[in-house]
Amino acid sequence: MPLPLDEVDWRVREHAHQERADALTAEHRSRAAAGEKHPVWDFLFTYYSYKPAQLRRWHPGAGVELADAPERAGWRWYAAGSAPGSVVPDAPAFAREKPELAGLVERMLRRTASRPGQFGCFGLHEWAMVYQADEHRHPVPLRLGREGTDAVVEAHDLRCTHFDAFRFFTPEAVPLNRSALTREEQPLFEQPGCLHAGMDLYKWATKLGPLVPGELLLDAFELARDIRLLDMQAAPYDLSAWNVEPVPIETSEGKAEYVRRQRVFADRGVALRAALLDAWLGDAETAAA
């Protein structure tokens, strides 16, 4: 049976969500209005293609019935509730309409959750993306220059497990990785220590739409935001113009700092991954693991 939520309660939650979302996106919206770019934070709104207006839209999550919400009757993946004017996000409807996506999201969440975290990559995926390249994707100078950057890559073992990072490796860096990753095999390699696997919890939350409680969506966004900072701090770029302090992973001190923070993010990801499964599928066993 759906969990009932009266209008007073859900309107309070909706308003709190909107205020929180607006605070999280305020700086981005201000920069966008001024036509300004940011090499760190724009990623959260371009790569994930979820706009601030979408982020501020609150949903109760699968199986929660909103009383007196007739304006949502035509919203995607909402079904009529047990009383006139009530609605409930409909997980079975999502599964029927998007079976491949539903299967992929569940596989990614469950299989990643089933593996131990790996903490020996040191964020070298970003270095592999510029290895032996005359030009690179970001119009930002390299902190160690091209030769210094290449030397760091050559002095390390590339252990990337995330296909959506690996696919941007330069052709010269591809054979240096321990594994040749493919899209089809992505669920076989994803593991909870990977920064991008943690960031992608936000992606999976956006894909599930109204099946994920708004509060959980913003938790996932905050995790992606925090991880994105470390991802760029450990990258080979000189981001001093944006007051971004580097984590110099080419040093033993930088490696230790990277792994320490990586482990904290992995722990946050474990809890969030379980919460997404529980909210979407009522998977209490996974949520308790």
**pLDDT tens figures, 166-186:** 999 999 999 999 999 999 999
Quote the pTM value: 0.95
> CA nearest 126: which of 165, 86, 163?
165
Burial class (CB in 10 A: 0-12, 13-18, 19+), 260: exposed
Say how many CA atoms lie within 13 Å of 90 toward its Cβ: 18
**pLDDT tens figures, 38-93:** 999 999 999 998 999 999 999 999 999 999 999 999 899 999 999 999 999 999 99
Helix (H), strand (E) at residue 284: helix 284-288
What Å distances lie between residue 231 and 5, 9, 42, 72, 219, CA to CA? 39, 38, 14, 38, 18
Q: What is the pLDDT of residue 285?
A: 42
Residues 29 and 33: their CA atoms lie apart, in Å, by 6
Q: What is the pLDDT of residue 181?
A: 97
Residues 109 and 106: their CA atoms lie apart, in Å, by 5
Q: What is the pLDDT of residue 10?
A: 97
Q: What is the pLDDT of residue 215?
A: 98
Whether the pLDDT of residue 248 is over 80: the answer is yes
Burial class (CB in 10 A: 0-12, 13-18, 19+), 80: middle
Residues 167 and 183: their CA atoms lie apart, in Å, by 9
Helix (H), strand (E) at residue 204: helix 195-208
Where in the chain are the domains? 3-119+186-283
Whether the pLDDT of residue 288 is over 90: the answer is no
Is residue 179 within 8 A of residue 202, CB to CB? The reply is no
Can you say whether residue 140 is alpha, beta or left, with left for phi > 0 and alpha for psi between -120 and 50 degrees? Answer: beta
Mean pLDDT along residues 226-232: 98
Residues 274 and 269: their CA atoms lie apart, in Å, by 8
Tokens 């991954």 -> residue: 273
**Residue 31: CB atoms within 10 Å:** 14
* 202: confidence class by pLDDT, cuts 50, 70, 90: very high
The percent of residues in the chain predicted with pLDDT above 70, rounded, is 98
Residues 158 and 150: their CA atoms lie apart, in Å, by 13
Q: What is the pLDDT of residue 283?
A: 67
> CA nearest 231: which of 276, 190, 187, 261?
261
**pLDDT tens figures, 145-162:** 999 999 999 999 999 999
**pLDDT tens figures, 22-45:** 999 999 999 999 999 999 999 999
